[in-house]
Amino acid sequence: MILLESILDGIADIRTHMGRTMLQLVGVILGVASIVATFALAAAGKEQSKRYYKESGGIAKIFIWNKQSGKVTDSARAAASKGLTFGDAMAIKAQAREIDLVSPVINEQAVLRYGDREKSREISGVVPAFSPLNDFKVERGRFITDSDIQSASRVVVFGTARAAELFGSDDPIGKTVTINGTGYTVVGVMEHKFFAFGSGRNALRWMNRQVFVPVTAIMTRRGESLKTGRLGFMHVRMKDTKRAKEATSEIEEILKREHGVVDFEVVSRVERMKQNEEQGKMYDVTFMVCGIISLFVGGVVVMNIQMASFKERIREVGIRKAIGANGLHVFGQFMAEALLVSAFGGVIGILFGRAFTSGISMLTNEPAIITPEVILKALVFAAGTGIVFGVYPALKASRLNPIEALRVD
């Protein structure tokens, strides 16, 4: 009953002094709007990253690249290392317990010709695992098969952009193209991939520009054996993303045994996401601090106006206490007023925050997402402002001596 009466008294006082209430609202509104915009943009960035990773193979993917060992003097075995090989891929597939797919890749520049059209483009030697590992499916025809790898078949699969370059509107399936003067049969065309972070530019256009042949076809043309065939890089997929560190450590141990030196780099998407989140935290904290400062300023205004309100109403408070109101009732009335102002400011601040977010999104061409969690956080910050800065005036009013209050003119 006391709580309800306090709320009703607080509402009545707010309506009676609207000018004073509006001054209290300004700081709260701006602070909450800043916090909403900050959390909305941060949430959108994380969501976009997750969607991009999902479209290009998920967060279970691990990248393995060649790199210089960095040592001034290497052992004879290390000096003889030629970097990543197809034998390394086979070793990882056979020995790594945390890995379920291995996709070795060879990239090289080649001249593609069909009819009177000739293009110099990069081609990729791959294995069947490339398709599921990168979540890149065939739309027409088929992908590279195990049989193609075993026989080093002269077959080729095109991304949609490369297929359009050479064949235009014609169906490429079954056609023969020459790659560096050697004939290859087109057996498949991949699905069209598209993902935009907000600017409209396709972040997955590199997938549509792919030209795939069996990895062994390139190795055979180079005169390399199955074990020693040199790779550009590898993709592998871990079984459990919660064991990302164990998976990368296992790969590093296997490759170090094979090479005798660390002339490779292993990076998981799980690790990369954590790094991105750590880098993003600096910006999140910076903007959030700005919002909290605005809320702090608004809180100071709330406290000062509450103190001014108390001084104007000393006789009123004294009379209420003289006729039976206790300290808790008076405390509740002042706290209810502070909380109501803060909550109302929080709701308006959320609306302003949506407007800020839309404006920033339009200017930067980056998406923003206002989730229920963002709204809840904003309301909690607003309510917290009312509680923190409303306590002192409420305590002062609740402890007022009614006899001294009635002496005030």
Complete DSSP assignment for 116-147: TEEEEEEEEEE-TTHHHHTT--EEEE----HH
Closest CA to 242 of 46, 100, 102, 59: 59
| Residue 59 belongs to some domain of the structure | no
| Residue 78 belongs to some domain of the structure | yes
b (16+ CB within 10 A) / e for 258-287: bbbbbbbebebbbebbeeeeeeeeeebeeb
Predicted confidence at residue 90, as pLDDT, reads: 94
As a whole number of angstroms, the distance between CA 130 and CA 124 comes to 10
Q: Do 105 and 230 fall within a single domain?
A: yes
Domain interval for residue 311: 2-54+275-407
Q: What are φ and ψ of residue 196, in 5° steps? A: -120, 140
pLDDT in tens, the chain (409 residues): 444 555 555 555 555 656 566 766 777 787 788 778 777 777 777 777 778 888 888 889 999 999 865 554 455 555 566 789 999 999 999 999 999 999 999 999 999 999 889 999 999 999 999 999 999 999 999 999 999 999 999 999 999 999 999 999 889 999 999 999 999 999 999 999 998 776 668 889 999 999 999 999 999 988 888 888 899 999 999 999 899 999 999 999 999 998 888 889 999 998 888 877 776 677 667 767 776 777 787 778 778 777 877 777 777 777 777 777 777 777 877 787 778 778 888 888 888 888 877 777 777 666 667 778 778 878 888 888 878 888 888 888 778 777 666 665 5
Rg of the chain's alpha carbons, rounded to an integer? 33
Domain boundary residue among 262, 294, 328? Answer: 262
As a whole number of angstroms, the distance between CA 235 and CA 239 comes to 13
Closest CA to 62 of 94, 104, 95, 91: 104
Q: Do 25 and 96 fall within a single domain?
A: no
Q: Do 234 and 87 fall within a single domain?
A: yes
As a whole number of angstroms, the distance between CA 250 and CA 245 comes to 9
Predicted confidence at residue 369, as pLDDT, reads: 72
Q: Do 284 and 172 fall within a single domain?
A: no
Q: Angle 269-312/314-322 helices, nearest 10 degrees?
A: 80
Predicted confidence at residue 280, as pLDDT, reads: 67
Looking at the DSSP bridge assignments, the partners of residue 335 are none
Q: Do 84 and 145 fall within a single domain?
A: yes
Predicted confidence at residue 331, as pLDDT, reads: 81
Q: Do 22 and 125 fall within a single domain?
A: no
E-strand spans in 191-298? 211-214, 233-238, 264-268
| Residue 269 belongs to some domain of the structure | no
Instruction: Report the length, in residues, of the chain.
Output: 409
Q: What are φ and ψ of residue 189, in 5° steps? A: -130, 130
Token code pair at residue 90: 């086979």
Cβ-Cβ contacts under 8 Å for 157 (sequence gap 6 or more)? 138, 141, 142, 143, 144, 186, 187, 188, 189, 190, 211, 212, 213
Q: Do 115 and 203 fall within a single domain?
A: yes
Q: What are φ and ψ of residue 188, in 5° steps? A: -165, 155
Q: Quick count: other Cβ atoms within 10 Å of Cβ 201?
A: 10
| Residue 170 belongs to some domain of the structure | yes
CB 301 within 8 A of CB 27: yes
Domain boundary residue among 262, 288, 309? Answer: 262
| Residue 201 belongs to some domain of the structure | yes
Closest CA to 272 of 280, 263, 262: 280
Q: Do 94 and 243 fall within a single domain?
A: yes
Looking at the DSSP bridge assignments, the partners of residue 157 are 188, 212
Q: How many domains does the chain have?
A: 2
Predicted confidence at residue 70, as pLDDT, reads: 53
Token code pair at residue 198: 């907000």
Q: Do 50 and 85 fall within a single domain?
A: no
Q: Do 390 and 357 fall within a single domain?
A: yes
Predicted confidence at residue 285, as pLDDT, reads: 75
CB 246 within 8 A of CB 114: no
As a whole number of angstroms, the distance between CA 23 and CA 11 comes to 16
Q: Do 197 and 310 fall within a single domain?
A: no
Predicted confidence at residue 358, as pLDDT, reads: 79
Cβ-Cβ contacts under 8 Å for 63 (sequence gap 6 or more)? 233, 234, 235, 265, 266, 267, 268, 269
Tokens 């002062």 belong to 396
The alpha helices in 325-371, defined as continuous H runs, are 327-364
Predicted confidence at residue 1, as pLDDT, reads: 41
Give the predicted TM-score (pTM) of the model. 0.69
